[in-house]
Amino acid sequence: MTADDGGTSRAVRDTGEDNSGARGADAAAGRSDREASHKDAPHRGVEGEAADEGGDPIALRLEALILGAERRYTPFQAARAAGVSMDLASRFWRAMGFADIGQAKALTEADVLALRRLAGLVEAGLLSEPMAVQVARSTGQTTARLADWQIDSFLEGLTEPQEPGMTRTEITYPLVELLLPELEEFLIYVWRRQLAAATGRVVQAQDDAEMVDRRLAVGFADLVGFTRLTRRLEEEELGELVEAFETTAADLVAAHGGRLIKTLGDEVLYAADDAGTAAEIGLRLIETLTHDETMPELRVGIALGTVTTRMGDVFGTTVNLASRLTSIAPKDAVLVDGAFAEELARNGDAPKSEAEAAASASPEEVEKYRFALQPMWQRPVRGLGVVEPWLLTRRGN
């Protein structure tokens, strides 16, 4: 197995599939084959180094608690027990982001069962081999980030302040012991809920093509001057600002019917099935952060069109256009593309022309519109030609 996304430290925290855990287990059992294990595993974690020096028994117990099974297989033995080739097993493990452990005896019955399940889905024809690898990769990437967050933030907060005379690790063990089953159940619950929502969206697609290439409104929200902030703020302050921004954005996107695709520190990407929802989210983000004195200005760009969805992410010209609109948007403003503006007008959420709306409708009819659109100067956008952005505001603003 070779390191993919996670690296050694992530493998230690997420799965224990690192030679450090095997070395720690050997030390705890009093085995004498450390030198051979060291020779097999070039990547070594903190726990493995601790084992060389006598080891931290609590840290080793933490690994055993999280893994929940005895380490007994080398990668070759695990592949053989699962009935799959070593090549396929290595592809699955790499996709999940687990580090290279050579032929250390570091794997458990759970690893064998996971291999057997993935291979079984391929053998049954439910998944192709590339799709099974993609499932492993998407699951590994998502849970790796979740595990990192829980260790770096969640447990750190719970173990502060430390009890007099106790180390952080000594406090962490009983907390993990209590929280592990509850967090596991909660993870399964949230996953099932998200799976149900995603399945519903696919079922409602008008044809098979929409299951992969869909027409969506895509929005970027970007903090202005973030690079300057990184030079001015302390690391802790910067971390708190990013966390507050991501939390606020995630809550607003979810509350108003959108889907948060990803966060990039100073930027969030979201999508919505209709233009009205995307517009509401964009304006809400601006309005909310404008009233927060701790936050810098925000700018939002939204585009409507066909996007390709892969592993929870979105790609294509529409996404690129939304990103470009964000980069040219004024501070605390929302820019949208022509297709988005036309969709708002078609759905009755905004008039295409304020002058025409006022001339052809009664005041009551004009007031029914939720949003207002103002055409901006056409301009060339790198890689996309000339575009005509529209400034999106609320009626009455």
Dihedral sign from CA coordinates of 330, 333, 339, 342: negative
- The neighbouring-strand residues paired with 386 are 380
Read out DSSP for 137-198?
A: HHHHHHHHHHHHHIIIIIIHHHT-SPPTT--HHHHHHHHHHHHHHHHHHHHHHHHHHHHHHH
Supply the pLDDT for residue 158: 62
Supply the pLDDT for residue 205: 57
Closest CA to 160 of 168, 152, 149: 168
Supply the pLDDT for residue 40: 37
Distances from the Cα of 220 to the Cαs of 25, 125, 142, 269, 288, in angstroms?
A: 47, 39, 21, 5, 16
Supply the pLDDT for residue 8: 33
Helix (H, G, I), strand (E, B) or coil at 225: coil
* Prediction pTM value: 0.61
What CA–CA distance (Å, rounded) separates 245 from 222? 10
87-97 per-residue burial string, b: 16 or more CB within 10 A, e: under 16 = ebbbbbbbbbb
Q: Which residue reads 């503006």 in tokens?
A: 341
What CA–CA distance (Å, rounded) separates 353 from 269? 29
Q: Is the CB of residue 76 less than 8 Å from the CB of residue 86?
A: yes
**Mean pLDDT in order along the chain per 10 residues (397 residues):** 38 37 38 36 36 53 81 91 92 87 86 93 92 88 83 65 65 82 91 85 58 82 85 80 88 91 89 94 94 89 91 87 92 94 91 65 67 87 83 83
Per DSSP, helices labelled H in the chain are 7-14, 19-29, 34-40, 46-52, 57-67, 75-82, 86-96, 109-123, 129-149, 156-158, 168-203, 226-232, 235-255, 275-290, 317-328, 338-346, 354-360, 363-367
What CA–CA distance (Å, rounded) separates 219 from 224? 16
The CA angle 249-150-41, to the nearest 5 degrees, is: 130
What CA–CA distance (Å, rounded) separates 154 from 147? 10
Supply the pLDDT for residue 175: 81
What CA–CA distance (Å, rounded) separates 397 from 81? 67
